[in-house]
Amino acid sequence: GAVVSQHPSRVICKSGTSVKIECRSLDFQATTMFWYRQFPKQSLMLMATSNEGSKATYEQGVEKDKFLINHASLTLSTLTVTSAHPEDSSFYICSASQPFRTQYFGPGTRLLVL
């Protein structure tokens, strides 16, 4: 299957700082990328959908000014958690897709906000 990478794999930051997570599709051009969040013992929750070159579409309850998404190229999307707080600690997972094709997931980024 296709390969999607995320960087960093884990990050620890202080409360109030911003953290950027990168998602790359390594062997295909992803017209659409998705960002999910997963809390312990829970399922994945979709945060936003981003199409290359356009603004992301956020799910209800997800603050777009707090979770900034940029999808500037067909192989890279970034999620920036601004002014992170302990409640933002979670497992963030991206996925990449082309129309009518299988969606492939990255390995996830574990964020811990102290």
Q: Which two tokens mark 110?
A: 């574990």
Among the residue ranges 12-20, 72-80, 82-90, 106-114, the one whose residues contact another protein (CB under 8 A): 106-114
Nearest-angstrom CA–CA distance, 14 and 85: 8
- In this structure, the chain runs to a length of 114
Residue 89 in the binding site for another protein (CB under 8 A): no
Residue 55 or residue 101: which is nearer to another protein going by CB? 101
Residue 28 in the binding site for another protein (CB under 8 A): no
Residue 90 in the binding site for another protein (CB under 8 A): no
| Coil, helix or strand at residue 23 | strand
Binding-site size for another protein (CB under 8 A) equals 30
Residues 37-66 that bind another protein (CB under 8 A): 43-46, 49, 51
Q: Is the peptide bond before 8 cis (omega within 30 degrees of 0)?
A: yes
Q: Are strands 104-105 and 109-113 parallel, antiparallel or unpaired?
A: unpaired
Residue 79 beta carbon to another protein: minimum distance, rounded to whole angstroms:
14
